Amino acid sequence: MTDKETKKISKFLSLILRHNPAAVGIELDHEGWANVAELITKINAKKGWGLTVEQLDHVVATNNKKRFAYSQDGRRIRANQGHSIQVDLGLEAVDPPAILYHGTATRFLDSIMEQGLISKSRQHVHLSWDIETATTVGKRHGKVVILQIDCANMLADGHLFYLSENNVWLTDHVPVKYIALNDKGS
Protein backbone atom coordinates (compact mmCIF):
# COMPACT_ATOMS: atom_id res chain seq x y z
CA MET A 1 0.00 0.00 0.00
CA THR A 2 1.42 3.40 -0.97
CA ASP A 3 1.67 6.34 1.41
CA LYS A 4 -0.92 8.14 -0.72
CA GLU A 5 -3.41 5.25 -0.37
CA THR A 6 -2.74 5.03 3.36
CA LYS A 7 -3.39 8.75 3.78
CA LYS A 8 -6.59 8.58 1.70
CA ILE A 9 -7.96 5.74 3.82
CA SER A 10 -6.90 7.47 7.05
CA LYS A 11 -8.70 10.68 6.08
CA PHE A 12 -11.86 8.78 5.20
CA LEU A 13 -11.68 6.84 8.48
CA SER A 14 -11.38 10.15 10.34
CA LEU A 15 -14.52 11.41 8.62
CA ILE A 16 -16.46 8.27 9.52
CA LEU A 17 -15.18 7.61 13.04
CA ARG A 18 -14.97 11.24 14.22
CA HIS A 19 -17.69 13.11 12.39
CA ASN A 20 -20.10 11.24 10.13
CA PRO A 21 -20.57 7.47 10.46
CA ALA A 22 -23.74 7.77 8.38
CA ALA A 23 -21.51 8.58 5.39
CA VAL A 24 -21.11 4.82 4.97
CA GLY A 25 -24.27 3.76 6.79
CA ILE A 26 -22.86 2.61 10.11
CA GLU A 27 -23.61 3.57 13.68
CA LEU A 28 -21.06 4.03 16.43
CA ASP A 29 -21.87 2.85 19.93
CA HIS A 30 -21.96 5.40 22.78
CA GLU A 31 -18.17 5.04 23.23
CA GLY A 32 -17.46 5.67 19.55
CA TRP A 33 -16.73 2.06 18.57
CA ALA A 34 -17.56 0.62 15.15
CA ASN A 35 -17.57 -3.04 14.18
CA VAL A 36 -14.45 -3.62 12.04
CA ALA A 37 -16.04 -6.14 9.65
CA GLU A 38 -19.09 -3.96 9.08
CA LEU A 39 -16.93 -0.85 8.63
CA ILE A 40 -14.79 -2.52 5.96
CA THR A 41 -17.85 -3.90 4.15
CA LYS A 42 -19.61 -0.53 4.17
CA ILE A 43 -16.51 1.43 3.08
CA ASN A 44 -15.94 -0.96 0.20
CA ALA A 45 -19.58 -0.71 -0.87
CA LYS A 46 -19.59 3.09 -0.66
CA LYS A 47 -16.18 3.82 -2.17
CA GLY A 48 -15.68 0.80 -4.43
CA TRP A 49 -12.43 0.03 -2.65
CA GLY A 50 -11.07 -3.42 -1.83
CA LEU A 51 -10.08 -2.46 1.72
CA THR A 52 -8.91 -5.47 3.73
CA VAL A 53 -8.34 -6.05 7.43
CA GLU A 54 -4.60 -6.08 6.75
CA GLN A 55 -4.78 -2.69 5.06
CA LEU A 56 -6.85 -1.28 7.91
CA ASP A 57 -4.27 -2.66 10.35
CA HIS A 58 -1.57 -0.88 8.35
CA VAL A 59 -3.45 2.44 8.47
CA VAL A 60 -3.98 2.16 12.24
CA ALA A 61 -0.39 1.10 12.94
CA THR A 62 1.31 3.68 10.73
CA ASN A 63 -0.82 6.75 11.44
CA ASN A 64 1.72 9.21 12.83
CA LYS A 65 -0.94 10.85 15.00
CA LYS A 66 -2.22 7.49 16.32
CA ARG A 67 -5.77 8.65 15.58
CA PHE A 68 -7.35 5.19 15.75
CA ALA A 69 -7.44 2.31 18.19
CA TYR A 70 -8.75 -1.22 18.19
CA SER A 71 -10.65 -2.74 21.07
CA GLN A 72 -8.77 -5.39 23.04
CA ASP A 73 -10.41 -8.18 21.05
CA GLY A 74 -9.66 -6.41 17.74
CA ARG A 75 -13.27 -6.54 16.59
CA ARG A 76 -14.01 -2.85 17.05
CA ILE A 77 -12.25 0.36 16.05
CA ARG A 78 -12.65 4.01 17.05
CA ALA A 79 -11.00 7.39 16.81
CA ASN A 80 -8.99 8.31 19.90
CA GLN A 81 -10.17 11.94 20.00
CA GLY A 82 -11.31 14.80 17.79
CA HIS A 83 -14.99 13.88 17.56
CA SER A 84 -17.61 16.37 16.50
CA ILE A 85 -20.29 13.81 17.37
CA GLN A 86 -21.14 12.95 20.94
CA VAL A 87 -19.23 9.92 22.23
CA ASP A 88 -17.97 8.92 25.65
CA LEU A 89 -14.35 7.86 25.36
CA GLY A 90 -14.38 6.80 29.01
CA LEU A 91 -11.43 9.03 29.83
CA GLU A 92 -10.67 9.69 33.47
CA ALA A 93 -9.68 13.17 34.58
CA VAL A 94 -5.91 13.35 35.17
CA ASP A 95 -3.53 16.03 36.35
CA PRO A 96 -1.74 17.67 33.41
CA PRO A 97 1.77 19.08 33.33
CA ALA A 98 2.01 22.66 34.60
CA ILE A 99 2.26 23.97 31.02
CA LEU A 100 0.81 22.66 27.76
CA TYR A 101 0.73 24.22 24.30
CA HIS A 102 -1.80 24.95 21.59
CA GLY A 103 -0.84 25.65 18.00
CA THR A 104 -3.16 27.75 15.89
CA ALA A 105 -3.07 30.25 13.05
CA THR A 106 -2.39 33.92 13.65
CA ARG A 107 -5.73 34.80 12.04
CA PHE A 108 -7.53 33.17 15.01
CA LEU A 109 -5.52 34.96 17.69
CA ASP A 110 -7.83 37.96 18.22
CA SER A 111 -10.85 35.71 18.70
CA ILE A 112 -8.94 33.42 21.07
CA MET A 113 -7.74 36.34 23.15
CA GLU A 114 -11.36 37.51 23.48
CA GLN A 115 -13.11 34.23 24.29
CA GLY A 116 -10.34 31.77 25.12
CA LEU A 117 -9.92 28.39 23.46
CA ILE A 118 -13.31 26.83 22.81
CA SER A 119 -14.05 23.42 21.39
CA LYS A 120 -16.37 24.75 18.67
CA SER A 121 -17.64 21.70 16.76
CA ARG A 122 -15.36 19.29 18.65
CA GLN A 123 -16.00 17.79 22.05
CA HIS A 124 -12.78 19.16 23.56
CA VAL A 125 -9.99 21.66 23.11
CA HIS A 126 -6.79 19.84 22.11
CA LEU A 127 -3.50 20.66 23.80
CA SER A 128 0.02 19.41 23.10
CA TRP A 129 2.87 18.28 25.33
CA ASP A 130 5.48 20.21 23.43
CA ILE A 131 6.05 23.18 21.16
CA GLU A 132 7.03 20.98 18.19
CA THR A 133 3.71 19.12 18.18
CA ALA A 134 1.75 22.33 18.67
CA THR A 135 3.65 23.87 15.77
CA THR A 136 2.80 20.94 13.50
CA VAL A 137 -0.88 21.25 14.43
CA GLY A 138 -0.92 25.02 13.98
CA LYS A 139 0.71 24.89 10.55
CA ARG A 140 -2.34 23.07 9.19
CA HIS A 141 -4.34 26.27 9.66
CA GLY A 142 -1.97 28.93 8.34
CA LYS A 143 0.82 31.08 9.76
CA VAL A 144 1.41 29.48 13.13
CA VAL A 145 1.33 30.99 16.59
CA ILE A 146 1.97 28.93 19.72
CA LEU A 147 -0.04 29.54 22.85
CA GLN A 148 1.21 28.51 26.27
CA ILE A 149 -1.50 27.22 28.58
CA ASP A 150 -1.19 27.61 32.36
CA CYS A 151 -2.59 24.20 33.29
CA ALA A 152 -1.38 24.34 36.90
CA ASN A 153 -3.67 27.30 37.65
CA MET A 154 -6.50 25.90 35.53
CA LEU A 155 -6.35 22.69 37.56
CA ALA A 156 -6.22 24.64 40.84
CA ASP A 157 -9.31 26.53 39.70
CA GLY A 158 -11.24 23.30 39.08
CA HIS A 159 -10.80 22.70 35.34
CA LEU A 160 -10.58 19.07 34.28
CA PHE A 161 -8.09 17.53 31.87
CA TYR A 162 -8.08 14.22 30.06
CA LEU A 163 -5.33 12.38 28.21
CA SER A 164 -6.43 10.52 25.09
CA GLU A 165 -5.00 7.16 24.15
CA ASN A 166 -2.76 8.88 21.58
CA ASN A 167 -1.39 11.38 24.13
CA VAL A 168 -3.42 14.43 23.18
CA TRP A 169 -4.44 16.50 26.19
CA LEU A 170 -8.12 17.46 26.21
CA THR A 171 -10.13 19.99 28.20
CA ASP A 172 -13.53 21.61 27.75
CA HIS A 173 -12.43 25.26 27.50
CA VAL A 174 -9.37 27.38 28.18
CA PRO A 175 -10.34 30.82 29.50
CA VAL A 176 -8.24 33.76 28.31
CA LYS A 177 -6.59 34.29 31.70
CA TYR A 178 -4.67 31.01 31.32
CA ILE A 179 -3.34 31.77 27.81
CA ALA A 180 -0.02 33.41 26.98
CA LEU A 181 1.83 33.80 23.69
CA ASN A 182 4.87 31.58 23.50
CA ASP A 183 7.62 33.55 21.81
CA LYS A 184 9.95 30.53 21.50
CA GLY A 185 7.72 28.62 19.10
CA SER A 186 5.98 31.29 17.05
pLDDT digits (tens, 9 = 90+) for 108-117: 999 999 999 9
User: What is the per-residue pLDDT across 117-150, written as a single tens digit (0 to 9) for each?
Assistant: 999 888 899 999 999 999 999 998 899 999 999 9
Q: At 182, is the pLDDT very low, low, confident or very high (cuts 50, 70, 90)?
A: confident
Question: Residue 178 contacts by C-beta under 8 Å, 6 or more apart in sequence?
Answer: 116, 149, 150, 151, 153, 154
As a whole number, mean pLDDT of residues 98-104 equals 97
User: What is the per-residue pLDDT across 20-49, written as a single tens digit (0 to 9) for each?
Assistant: 999 999 999 999 999 999 999 999 999 999
Query: pTM of the predicted model, to two decimals?
Result: 0.82
Domains for the chain: give ranges and CATH numbers: 3-79 (1.10.10.970), 99-181 (3.20.170.30)
pLDDT given for residue 184 in this prediction? 59
As a whole number, mean pLDDT of residues 53-68 equals 95
Scored b (16 or more CB within 10 A) or e, 58-90 reads bbbeebebbbbbbeeeeebbbbbbbbebebebe
